[in-house]
Amino acid sequence: LLCLWEGWWCVLFGVSKTAALLLQLLLGYSLALGVYVLARRYASCSGALGAAMLLILTLPYRQSLSWVMAEHLTAVLVFAAAVAFARYLGGPGLVAGQLFGLLAALALLVKGSASPLVLLPLISVLIARRFAVLLRLDFWLSALPVIFLAVPWYSFWIRFASPNSGSIGRSVESGAWMPGLEYGPVVLVSALIGFVLLSKRDPYVATLAGLVGSYAVAPFWIGAFREGRHMLPAIAGAAVLASGVWGRLKRPELLVGCCLGLSWWLTPGTVGFAPERFRSWAQGIPDLGAILVSGSGTEEGAVVAAIAEREPKPRRVVFRAGRVLATSGWNGERYRLLVM
């Protein structure tokens, strides 16, 4: 789905690095806008703006803005699906349930990191204690879009997956649950306090807490769930919950400023990597023939980007083989970059 989205974008605005980064910027700030709009339910304008800024200051958010990857589109769709389910909890109905299922299916078609949505309904119902919806037919029918749209694709794709992608033991051993704590400590602490202060019967509070909870347990059953960028939807939900802290104050500006300053101080300033070595490798690649690139996801993408910078009009085929040929780790662990 990301390829289709980017294809139409390039048809409209041309094929260039600027157009690709503008698309990432549009998706990223759409997510921040969604956080602001939801946070206005619990805080003033300044408090809601502070919630959006907390999201923007996190390292996974800023890194993903400079990477042409699927994280921001996935996060936008997952966040929209969570909002749709909150509306369903507030007033159950077939339309609201099917909207949630459709958005969840689209998110899954973008990237498998949306799979924690499977747990979102049950966790949200448990937090809100609205167990009556479990007896409604439209609650279970909301899974139909996922079954008819996403399941066939994953049934086809799973045969090409890395054997490490389903390793629960490896995931837990490597501390894969840490990215959310490592990259957003101020967001998560504020979210915990906000969750305690806000009403659990509120469908939006329950759903956003369910979103954070479903992503918190995801690394224990999804082996490839190892990086902070995979946590973007949960960080967005946590940022909205954090606004519950400031909503209790008449003048929250001072506390908002302190939280933003602390978040800025705790967040590493480097969001990228030095591209010089990748550009030098690209300069030494022959002009003709196909190229096989094997390495981490970041290294492979950087080499492809460096080649694209040198050759605005594609003249070759570049195969990203790291995830097919790798046997020692997942997504960069113990890899050695190889360009052939």
Q: Encode pLDDT of 89-133 as tens digits.
A: 988 888 989 999 999 999 999 888 888 898 999 999 999 999 989
**Does residue 252 have a pLDDT over 80?**
no
In this prediction, what percent of the chain has a pLDDT beyond 70?
68
Alpha helices in 148-289 (DSSP H): 151-157, 168-173, 178-183, 185-197, 203-217, 232-246, 253-266, 276-283
Nearest one of 122, 283, 299, 129 to 214, comparing CA atoms: 122
In residues, how long is the chain? 340
| pLDDT for res 339 | 53
Helical (H) or strand (E) element with 293: strand 291-294
Predicted confidence (pLDDT) per residue in 221-232, tens digit? 665 566 677 888
Triad 317, 319, 322: Cα angle to 5°: 165
Better pLDDT: 281 or 133: 133
